[in-house]
Structure 1
């Protein structure tokens, strides 16, 4: 996979790409990440990337020309791929695990990180393929949102994680929140690991995990169950959970 990022603060991405799983995934050659300062593509002596909005109003807008020129230059470098051009914007579609899984299937992603009051509307209308938001709040720029999305996508690439099952069983990947986890010691300050996890019966362990995943989802994110098809057994467990039956 190829990931390009357009930002006027490219060094913000150094910490992300130089550490942990993302760094290892880059070193393995599973993903190629490049961050470009789109100011370099701005015309004029001062390489201005923003200007006042027509009609007046508060704040400055990112100009169309530098971003169009930068995206076109990136596309020329990879003429055999059709990139998804992702605009980081609070008015965009809410990012979720399903979208991460969709983006992970692409060959080339281009993230556009905004600043100031917003973008020239022609960027939305004629350049980008996706407008995406990470939540209903405002940040000073799109970099943090882009990093969150990139992390979520890159870890889904085959070979990125040490255990391939990790991404499959993550919260939201199955449609439910993930079950509780425990590690050694079995007893810590009079707090015990559930006995079922210690008995070696893998069938019972899997049933416990599935039930606890269902319990956690109902207690913390019941909205996820609205679009989740329960099996007969899961429905029985959910009914028992709601009645407080252990």
Structure 2
């Protein structure tokens, strides 16, 4: 997969995409990240990329022509069709489902705004989709672009050392992930690992993990449960979790801090 990023801060994009899973995906040639600076496409000697907004008001607005020229160069750089995304707090919320869909595309381009944003006409004629990573405002789209690159890049086949890692992530099946434990088996301050995880009974472990995943979703993100139909086993497991949670010292007691 190829991701092109139009940004006034290309060094930030390159550096953030060079580490961890995404960096390894590039080394394995599973992912290609390229950057384009709109200043390189500005027609004047001052490399101007912004102007004052019509109607007055604070701040500056990014100009059409440098961004349009940068996107034209992006489209010409590779033969695959490119899906253009503008990172904006006004866009649709980025979800795991949307991330998985983007990861299946051969190519996307991310446009990073700055200042008060970009000229609306560019969005109307050059952008296919607007995406937001949350209901808050950042100084620019670069951090959001880094999030999209990481979320999409890690889903490329072969990017993760264990393919099941992505399948078991929170949101991958519409639920939050279950708790995880590692060594030591018994901690002096915080006790031991749930016995079922040490039992070697894979069916019991799968059932426990499913129950915890359902329970955590009910406690922390109940809205997710309203968006999906639960099968009989899942309803039974969720009922068990609720009963255990209701006990004074129940098995789900460590999640009490998360329920309002």
TM-score normalised by length of structure 1: 0.96
* Alignment-derived partner of residue 41 in structure 1: 41
Confirm or deny that 1:124 pairs with 2:148. no
- CA offset at residue 228 of structure 1? 1.5
Cα offset, 1:14, TM superposition: 3.4
Counterparts of 2:241 and 2:18 in 1: how far apart (Å)? 44
CA–CA distance in structure 2, aligned partners of residues 87 and 199 of structure 1? 49
Q: Which runs of 5+ in 1 are unaligned?
A: none
Divergent runs of 4+, >3 A: none
Matched with 2:201 is: 201
Summarize the Cα distance change of 1:159–1:84 in structure 2 as closer, same or farther, 3 Å threshold.
same
Q: How far has the Cα of 1:219 moved from its partner? A: 0.7
The CA distance in 1 between the partners of 2:145 and 2:172, in whole Å, is 20
State the 1:17 CA deviation: 2.2
Q: Is the 8 A contact 2:14 2:35 kept in 1?
A: no
- What's the counterpart of residue 241 of structure 1? 241
Is contact 2:14-2:33 (8 Å) kept? no
- Return the offset for 1:51: 0.3
Q: Distance in 1 between matches of 2:38 and 2:118?
A: 14
Indicate if the aligned counterparts of 2:17 and 2:149 stay in contact, CA closer than 8 A: no
Tell me if structure 1 keeps the 8 A contact 2:39–2:48. yes
> Does 2:41 correspond to 1:54?
no
SS of equivalent to 2:158 = coil
Match of 2:96 in 1: 97
Question: Is the 2:17–2:146 contact (alpha carbons within 8 Å) kept by the matching residues of 1?
Answer: no
CA distance in 2, matches of 1:198, 1:238: 22
Deviation of the 1:161 alpha carbon: 0.0
1:227 is paired with a residue of what secondary structure?
A: coil
Q: Which residue in 1 is equivalent to 2:156?
A: 157
Structure 2 partner of 1:18: 18
User: For residue 68 of structure 1, what is the aligned residue in structure 2?
Assistant: 68
Alignment partner of 1:119: what SS? coil
Structural RMSD (CA): 1.2
Where 2:226 maps in the other structure, the secondary structure is: helix
* Alignment partner, residue 210 of structure 1: 210
For residue 86 of structure 2, what is the aligned residue in structure 1?
A: 87
Cα displacement (A) at 1:156:
0.4
Normalising to structure 2: TM-score of the pair?
0.91
How many residues align? The count is 245
Measured in 1, the distance between the counterparts of 2:148 and 2:71 equals 19
In structure 2, what is the Cα distance between the partners aligned to 1:41 and 1:174? 43
Please state how far the C-alpha of 1:66 moved relative to its aligned partner. 0.6
**Structure 1 residues 107-116 or 181-190, which shifts more?**
181-190
Quote how far apart the aligned CAs of 1:231 are: 0.9
